[in-house]
């Protein structure tokens, strides 16, 4: 096959060393790819929804992660198959773009692939299927736009935001205290949000975790939390109205970058050098004191002598603070990061109402709270929990909730969750299918059927009869022409998602459908897989 | 082509995954089960490292920390016991045993076709209810210092009675309570120094009000100083290097070397003089003191102690009220430490330096004596547990009775809740109460008693409102815990309950285990 002949009848090789490569062609290639994609989707399917199960992942170094977050599961499971990697990418891009719905996007893609396989068996050409999917996705996205609702909130009235975040958190292990966590997430986002420009910089929200305590102890700090303590054990543990000098230069003698040598050959030189050194330390501390700083935060270490001088002059200091934290402190306190002592001026100092050190548990663990900052634009969410895995999972859940809140501030349209949006789309797509002449009609219908898989999986995971429940909800939606009916996962007794307060963001849902369609189209277009064989 | 994982990766699904995690977790729980309670047995741990060092212990956290576990669910349990150790210090075994029992019950429920999510919902309700039950019955004696002290003493004794120190528990409990009271509410256990000296018997251990530094006094220096003024320092007393980068000595003749050496000596002498200008008679440095400055100090009649470790220095600063100094230019403003008496004392055949009559009474030292290093190590761990619990109790003064009493109280309430709850959840709630009862059962089993009989008796007793019955392992019968003085800290019990439930919930939620291919190590030939 890979052997061709030129006009003189001589063979020439198109594919080098083809006997060492495995090759799949045509319909086989598509079938194999679809099977791989489906396998990935099948793993995630049981994690969907509020009653979804968790996965336990053991990393290459024996570390254990327990999670429910689609993106994390896929990232950690270390897949080898090319198509499976595509699915991992898919979930990751949903994570980057929206931050939530990472499981849903993979489930939708898996369902689309499954339907495509059926169409392939009927003999429809993959490109026609891909085109049909494309048209269908457009219909679905438009329909979502139509059924979406705006909802109003402002800085004081954020109940609706909290409700949406709670929908996100309800599928995680932290759902025990989803109310308080959702409130924390919303307050954090509102604190840093620019409501005029409708933008939120999530970098300003730091999520910090510490093992111990209860999940309920998780708190929002209007300020910065630094996992460091004062450089000298006898420095004051609490400073009110601190003026903070933020330094990136070490409290050490200067180290010129050019190569140089200071030769000591006489006693006098030795003496002068010694004096200079002492003076140098003195000057550094004096400089900080002169500009009126009451706290020094330094990226580098201090010499013992400098440390004592600081302590002696009653100037508390923190050393070895990381670059990111330093930046956040600078933003929060309105200070400037100063790279040299000479450039230290009173205007460049940051201001904070209260800086305090707090210790935890029986071990010697301390953290530094910097609160009541001049510019309260930086906040910290401090997570406590029973063990390390719990904290990590809570961090991921909070991240999702933060992203949802941010998306809502960007655009305040929502659709209803619990599979309601998918069912509504499925109905719309199904109705639209009849308008298209040609083979694509079948692909569009297949798309509609694939969308049903999300509510189906939700029902299945919640222990309901999937087909029965889905058809009941579907007929209810058609009968009353209201797109708010979804799957009642929590066994509340009503299918009306408005009553259950289950919302999702419009852009999140739209993105899910678009991304999944794109990836599926890409997979369908592959008709030849060449891979080096195992050796 | 179904293969999507790397070669060595493994995937376990559904029932198999659940079984793997149940079995792993239960195996770990069973491992430490036999150490629970006053008659629990110890374990010998032999390290695989060089020397095959041996540890004999009864402490759950210590045992689990040294295990090499491959089962991911078992790792979750090891983790919670570690956290329990960090947070409250005691109950490290109980938390693992309870989590194991919860999973054992859950396994039965899963086998009878109840969805894990339903079990979790039931467990949550039960845990909440159990906590409320405990809260209703707590005893708080914060107002009454004398009673509070006796409560603490009883808690310490309860904690210690399951350890190696049980023979002398009154002695050690007194010691621990005294030490914790000196902290005045802070949880910083750093201020309590534990010194281990082999020799003598455990009964010879004592609490010292002052501070003991495991160092020797320099030659020719006074061995006893009254009304000492102490300068605590962290400074180089070997050769004080020039710190300016790139500086180096370059000379062209021997005489110049001598000159520079002279200058260096001069510099050191200057420093010593500056230190002496503080008007001190004791100088403690974290770093080495070379012979030359030591000699200078001896000449001036100052006691110089070198190479005290960092914690020792911090503690000394804390005790004597002096600041840790590194520069000596302003003698008038440096805060010096004070103590009434410094003397050299002998414990066993080691000489130690003893600071007594210190200004701030916060810190103190406990000197442990015992037959061997293993005994001492275990004694230290036990004492540490007791100190942790006590210091936490000082802050949260609520206490409970012990001896299986809290478990029975919780089980009773939870049982009641199960009866009131409709739906499948009630099975899970019932299972929760069975898991709680498993703890007194294990305690009496470990003591070689007839657990079925005792627990049944206990349950009957608890049917009466406001009963104080628990299992007294020493006499082997059900008795009034208040009379016997068996108390436990509320904070410990609460932490055990909540983290065990959390861990069980976490393991229950798993329906798939994916194990990545182990990272290949480069073979270093």
DSSP character string of A139-174 = HHHHHHHHH-EE----SS--HHHHHHHHHHHTTSGG
Strands A317-318 and A295-298, by their bridges, are: parallel
Options A65, A72, A102, A294, the catalytic residue: A102
Is the pLDDT at B371 greater than 50, yes or no? yes
User: Using a CB-CB distance cutoff of 8 angstroms, which residues of chain A are in contact with residue B328?
Assistant: none
Is the pLDDT at B524 greater than 60, yes or no? no
Is the pLDDT at B328 greater than 80, yes or no? no
User: Using a CB-CB distance cutoff of 8 angstroms, which residues of chain A are in contact with residue B326?
Assistant: 304-305, 307-309
At residue A376, the pLDDT reads 65
Q: How confident is the model at residue B36 (pLDDT cuts 50, 70, 90)?
A: confident
Out of A77, A233, A255, name the one closest to residue B5 (CB).
Answer: A77
**What sign has the CA pseudo-torsion B333, B335, B339, B344?**
negative
Q: From first to last of its 535 residues, what are the pLDDT tens digits of chain A?
A: 556 777 787 777 666 666 666 777 778 888 888 888 888 888 888 888 888 888 888 888 778 888 888 888 888 887 878 888 888 889 889 888 888 888 889 999 999 999 999 999 988 999 999 999 999 999 999 999 998 888 777 767 778 788 888 888 887 777 778 888 888 888 888 888 877 777 788 888 888 888 776 777 888 888 888 888 887 777 778 888 888 888 888 777 666 666 666 777 777 777 787 777 777 778 888 888 888 888 888 888 777 777 777 877 788 888 888 888 888 888 888 888 888 877 888 888 888 888 888 876 555 677 888 888 777 677 888 888 767 777 888 888 888 888 888 888 888 888 888 888 999 999 999 999 988 888 889 999 999 999 999 899 988 888 788 899 899 999 988 888 888 888 887 777 788 888 888 888 888 899 999 999 999 999 998 888 877 765 4
SS3 of A349-377: CEEEEEEEEEEECCCCEEEEEEEEECCCC
At residue B361, the pLDDT reads 62
Is the pLDDT at B16 greater than 50, yes or no? yes
Alpha carbon distances (Å) from A33 to A521, A522, B9: 12, 11, 20
Q: Give the separation between CA B62 and CA B43, rounded to whole angstroms.
A: 10
> Nearest residue on chain B to A176, judged by CA atoms?
B124
Q: Using an 8 Å Cβ cutoff, are B30 and B152 in contact? A: no
Q: Which of A255-259, B361-365, B463-467, B489-493 has the highest mean pLDDT?
A: B489-493
Torsion of Cα atoms, A185 then A190 then A194 then A196, to 10°: 130
Minimum distance, in Å, between the CA of residue B83 and any CA atom of chain A: 6
Out of A51, A78, A264, name the one closest to residue B5 (CB).
Answer: A78
Mutation choice for B interface testing from A53, A67, A87, A214 by most B CBs within 10 A: A53
Nearest to A502 by CA among A414, A415, A417: A417
At residue A445, the pLDDT reads 92
Minimum distance, in Å, between the CA of residue B457 and any CA atom of chain A: 35
ipTM of the complex: 0.74
Alpha carbon distances (Å) from B522 to A59, B157, B517, B519: 18, 52, 15, 9
Collect all residues with Cβ–Cβ distance below 8 Å to A347 and sequence separation of at least 6.
Answer: A336
Nearest to A115 by CA among A517, A438, A475: A517
Q: Tell me which of B351-355, B408-412, B484-488 is least confident.
A: B351-355
Out of B80, B188, B256, name the one closest to residue A387 (CB).
Answer: B80
Q: Give the separation between CA B343 and CA B348, rounded to whole angstroms.
A: 16
E strand or H helix that includes residue A531: strand A528-532
Q: Give the separation between CA B280 and CA B282, rounded to whole angstroms.
A: 6
With 0-12 CB in 10 A as exposed, 13-18 as middle and 19+ as buried, what is B11?
A: middle
Q: How many CB atoms lie within 10 A of CB A211?
A: 21
Kindly write down the DSSP assignment for every residue of B60-99, as one continuous string. Answer: HHHHHHT-----HHHHHHHHHHHHHHHHTSS-HHHHHHHH
Is the pLDDT at B525 greater than 60, yes or no? no
Out of A36, A84, A387, name the one closest to residue B76 (CB).
Answer: A387
Mean per-residue pLDDT of chain A: 83
Q: Using an 8 Å Cβ cutoff, are A314 and A294 in contact? A: no
Q: Give the separation between CA B429 and CA B437, rounded to whole angstroms.
A: 13
User: Using a CB-CB distance cutoff of 8 angstroms, which residues of chain A are in contact with residue B2?
Assistant: 35-36, 39
Give me the half-sphere count of Cα atoms (radius 13 Å) on the Cβ side of residue A468: 4
Nearest to A44 by CA among A66, A68, A76, A80: A68
Q: What are phi and psi of A449, to 5 degrees?
A: -70, -35
Torsion of Cα atoms, A262 then A268 then A271 then A273, to 10°: -20
Out of A54, A234, A264, name the one closest to residue B260 (CB).
Answer: A264
Tokens of A526: 């592959």
What are the pLDDT digits (tens) for B190-228? 677 788 888 888 888 888 777 777 777 766 777 788 888
B185 contacts chain A (CB < 8 A): no
Tokens of B163: 């350890």
Q: Using an 8 Å Cβ cutoff, are B282 and B213 in contact? A: no
Options A67, A72, A103, A469, the catalytic residue: A103
A312 with B516: Cβ contact below 8 A = no
With left for phi above 0 and alpha for psi between -120 and 50, is residue A501 left, alpha or beta?
left
SS3 of A254-284: CCCCCCCCEEECCHHHHHHHHHHHHHHHHHH
B188 with A364: Cβ contact below 8 A = yes
Q: Supply angle C-alpha B140, B146, B151, rounded to 5.
A: 50
The answer to whether A102 is a known catalytic residue is: yes
Question: For chain B, how far is it from start to end, CA to CA, in angstroms?
Answer: 37
Tokens of A204: 């300003």
At residue B309, the pLDDT reads 67
pTM of the model: 0.80
Collect all residues with Cβ–Cβ distance below 8 Å to B383 and sequence separation of at least 6.
Answer: B160, B165, B172, B175, B176, B194, B366, B368
Minimum distance, in Å, between the CA of residue A303 and any CA atom of chain B: 10
B502 contacts chain A (CB < 8 A): yes
Out of A66, A264, A308, name the one closest to residue B327 (CB).
Answer: A308
User: Using a CB-CB distance cutoff of 8 angstroms, which residues of chain B are in contact with residue A270?
Assistant: 242, 249, 260, 263-264, 267
At residue B307, the pLDDT reads 67
Three-state secondary-structure class, residue B326: coil
- DSSP class of residue B371 equals S
Helix extents (H) in B396-424: 405-420
Kindly write down the DSSP assignment for every residue of B442-463, as one continuous string. Answer: HHHHHTT--HHHHHHHHHHHHT
Torsion of Cα atoms, B362 then B368 then B373 then B377, to 10°: -50
Q: Give the separation between CA B45 and CA B66, rounded to whole angstroms.
A: 8
The answer to whether B59 is a known catalytic residue is: yes
At residue A255, the pLDDT reads 65
Give me the half-sphere count of Cα atoms (radius 13 Å) on the Cβ side of residue B468: 13
The answer to whether A203 is a known catalytic residue is: no
B7 contacts chain A (CB < 8 A): yes
At residue A513, the pLDDT reads 92
E strand or H helix that includes residue B291: helix B291-299
At residue B1, the pLDDT reads 44
B517 contacts chain A (CB < 8 A): yes
Average pLDDT, integer, range B371-383 = 85
Using only C-alpha atoms, chain A has a radius of gyration, in whole angstroms, of 30
The answer to whether B329 is a known catalytic residue is: no
What percent of chain B clears pLDDT 70, i.e. is strictly above it?
90
User: Using a CB-CB distance cutoff of 8 angstroms, which residues of chain A are in contact with residue B318?
Assistant: 233
Q: Using an 8 Å Cβ cutoff, are B396 and B490 in contact? A: yes
B516 with A361: Cβ contact below 8 A = no
Mean per-residue pLDDT of chain B: 81
B512 with A43: Cβ contact below 8 A = yes
> B256-281 b/e with 16+ CB inside 10 Å = b?
beebbeebbeebbeebbeebbebebb
Q: Give the separation between CA A180 and CA A190, rounded to whole angstroms.
A: 15
A58 with B1: Cβ contact below 8 A = no
Q: Give the separation between CA B12 and CA B18, rounded to whole angstroms.
A: 9
Q: Give the separation between CA B195 and CA B365, rounded to whole angstroms.
A: 7
Q: Which residue has the higher pLDDT, B127 or B289?
A: B127
Tokens of B405: 């009493």
Q: What is the CA A494 to chain-centroid distance, rounded?
A: 32
Q: Give the separation between CA A230 and CA B323, rounded to whole angstroms.
A: 14
Give the residue carrying structure tokens 């009649």.
Answer: B301
B194 contacts chain A (CB < 8 A): no
B499 contacts chain A (CB < 8 A): yes
Q: Give the separation between CA B385 and CA B194, rounded to whole angstroms.
A: 13
Q: Which residue has the higher pLDDT, B28 or A342?
A: B28
What are the beta bridge partners of residue A165?
A: none
Torsion of Cα atoms, A36 then A41 then A42 then A46, to 10°: 160
Q: How confident is the model at residue B447 (pLDDT cuts 50, 70, 90)?
A: confident
Q: Using an 8 Å Cβ cutoff, are B67 and B78 in contact? A: yes
Q: How many CB atoms lie within 10 A of CB B310?
A: 11
Three-state secondary-structure class, residue B57: strand
Q: Using an 8 Å Cβ cutoff, are A162 and A186 in contact? A: yes
Minimum distance, in Å, between the CA of residue B187 and any CA atom of chain A: 6
């Amino acid at each position: 096959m890979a052997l061709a002949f030129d006009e003189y009848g001589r063979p020439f090789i198109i594919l080098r060393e083809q006997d060492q490569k495995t090759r799949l062609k045509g319909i086989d290639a598509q079938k194999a790819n679809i099977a791989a994609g489906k396998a990935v989707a099948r793993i995630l399917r049981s994690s969907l929804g509020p009653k979804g199960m968790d996965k336990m992942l053991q990393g290459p170094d024996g570390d254990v992660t327990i999670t429910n977050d689609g993106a994390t599961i896929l990232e950690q499971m270390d897949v080898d198959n090319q198509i499976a990697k595509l699915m991992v990418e898919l979930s990751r891009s949903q994570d980057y773009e929206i931050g939530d719905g990472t499981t849903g996007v993979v489930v939708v893609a898996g369902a689309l692939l499954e339907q495509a396989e059926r169409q392939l068996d009927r003999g429809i050409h993959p490109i026609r299927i891909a085109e049909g999917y494309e048209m269908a996705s457009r219909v679905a996205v438009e329909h979502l736009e139509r059924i979406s609702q705006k909802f109003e909130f402002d800085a004081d009235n954020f109940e609706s935001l909290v409700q949406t975040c709670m929908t996100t958190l309800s599928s995680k292990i932290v759902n025990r205290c989803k109310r308080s966590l959702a409130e924390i997430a919303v307050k954090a986002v509102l604190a840093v949000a620019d409501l005029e420009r409708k933008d939120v910089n999530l970098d300003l929200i730091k999520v910090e975790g510490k093992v111990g305590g209860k999940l309920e102890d998780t708190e929002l700090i209007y300020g910065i939390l630094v996992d460091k303590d004062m450089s000298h054990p006898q420095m004051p543990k609490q400073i009110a109205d601190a003026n903070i000098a933020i330094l990136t230069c070490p409290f050490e003698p200067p180290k010129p970058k050019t190569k140089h040598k200071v030769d000591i050959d006489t006693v006098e030189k030795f003496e002068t050098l010694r004096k200079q050194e002492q003076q140098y330390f003195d000057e550094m501390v004096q400089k900080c004191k002169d500009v009126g700083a009451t706290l020094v935060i330094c990226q580098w270490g201090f010499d013992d002598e400098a440390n004592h001088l600081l302590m002696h002059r009653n100037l508390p200091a923190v050393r070895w603070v990381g670059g990111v934290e330093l930046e956040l402190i600078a933003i929060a306190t309105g200070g400037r990061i100063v790279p040299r002592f000479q450039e230290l001026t009173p205007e460049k100092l940051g201001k904070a109402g209260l800086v305090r050190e707090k210790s935890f548990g029986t071990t010697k663990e301390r953290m530094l709270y910097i609160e009541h900052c001049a510019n309260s634009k930086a906040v910290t969410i401090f997570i406590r929990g029973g063990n390390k895995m719990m904290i990590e999972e809570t961090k991921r859940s909070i991240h999702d909730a933060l992203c949802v809140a941010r998306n809502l501030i960007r655009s305040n349209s929502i659709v209803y969750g619990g599979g309601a949006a998918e069912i509504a789309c499925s109905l719309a797509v199904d109705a639209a299918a009849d308008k298209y002449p040609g083979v694509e009609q079948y692909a569009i219908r297949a798309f509609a059927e694939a969308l049903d898989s999300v509510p189906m999986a939700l029902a299945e995971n919640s222990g309901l009869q999937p087909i029965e429940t889905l058809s009941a909800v579907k007929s209810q939606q058609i009968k009353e022409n209201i797109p708010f009916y979804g799957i009642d996962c929590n066994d509340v007794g009503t299918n009306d998602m408005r009553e259950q307060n289950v919302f999702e963001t419009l852009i999140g849902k739209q993105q899910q459908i678009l991304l999944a369609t794109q990836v599926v189209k890409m997979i369908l277009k592959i008709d030849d897989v060449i891979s080096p064989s195992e050796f | 082509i179904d293969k999507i994982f790397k070669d060595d990766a493994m995937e376990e699904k559904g029932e198999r995954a659940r079984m793997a995690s149940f079995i792993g977790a239960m195996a770990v729980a069973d491992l430490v089960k036999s150490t629970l309670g006053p008659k629990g047995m110890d374990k010998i741990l032999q390290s695989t490292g060089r020397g095959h060092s041996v540890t004999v212990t009864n402490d759950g956290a210590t045992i689990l920390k040294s295990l090499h576990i491959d089962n991911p669910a078992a790792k979750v349990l090891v983790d919670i016991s570690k956290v329990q150790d960090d947070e409250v210090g005691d109950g490290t075994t109980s938390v693992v045993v309870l989590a194991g029992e919860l999973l054992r019950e859950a396994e039965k429920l899963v086998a009878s076709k109840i969805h894990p999510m339903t079990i979790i919902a039931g467990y949550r309700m039960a845990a909440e209810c159990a906590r409320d039950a405990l809260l209703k019955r707590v005893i708080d004696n914060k107002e009454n210092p004398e009673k509070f002290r006796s409560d603490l003493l009883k808690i310490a004794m309860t904690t210690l009675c399951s350890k190696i120190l049980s023979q002398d528990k009154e002695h050690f409990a007194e010691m621990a309570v005294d030490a914790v009271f000196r902290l005045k509410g802070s949880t910083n256990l750093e201020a309590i120094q534990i010194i281990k000296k082999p020799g003598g018997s455990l009964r010879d251990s004592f609490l010292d009000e002052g501070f003991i530094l495991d160092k020797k006094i320099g030659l020719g220096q006074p061995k006893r100083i009254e009304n000492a003024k102490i300068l605590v320092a962290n400074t180089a007393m070997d050769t004080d290097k020039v710190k300016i980068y790139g500086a180096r000595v370059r000379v062209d003749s021997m005489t110049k070397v001598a000159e520079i050496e002279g200058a260096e000596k001069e510099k050191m002498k200057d420093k010593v003089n500056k230190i002496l200008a503080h008007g001190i008679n004791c100088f403690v440095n974290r770093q080495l003191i070379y012979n030359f400055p030591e000699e200078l100090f001896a000449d001036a009649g100052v006691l110089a102690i070198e190479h005290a470790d960092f914690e020792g220095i911090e503690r000394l600063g804390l005790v004597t009220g002096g600041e840790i100094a590194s520069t000596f230019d302003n003698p008038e403003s440096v805060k010096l430490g004070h103590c009434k008496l410094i003397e050299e004392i002998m414990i066993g055949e080691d000489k130690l330096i003893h600071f007594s009559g210190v200004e701030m009474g916060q810190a103190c030292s406990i000197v442990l004596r015992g037959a061997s290093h293993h005994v001492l190590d275990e004694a230290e761990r036990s004492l540490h547990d007791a100190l942790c619990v006590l210091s936490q109790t000082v802050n949260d003064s609520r206490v409970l009775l012990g001896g299986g009493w809290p478990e029975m109280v919780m089980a009773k309430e939870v049982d009641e809740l199960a009866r009131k709850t409709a739906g499948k959840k009630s099975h899970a709630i019932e299972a929760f109460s069975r898991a709680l009862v498993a703890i007194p059962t294990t305690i009496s089993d470990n003591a070689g008693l007839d657990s079925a009989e005792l627990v049944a008796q206990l349950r009957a007793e608890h049917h009466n409102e406001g009963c104080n019955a628990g299992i007294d392992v020493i006499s082997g019968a059900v008795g009034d815990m208040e009379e016997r003085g068996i108390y436990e800290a509320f904070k410990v019990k609460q932490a055990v309950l909540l983290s065990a439930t959390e861990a069980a919930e976490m393991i229950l939620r798993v329906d798939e285990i994916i194990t990545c291919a182990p990272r290949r190590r480069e073979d270093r030939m």
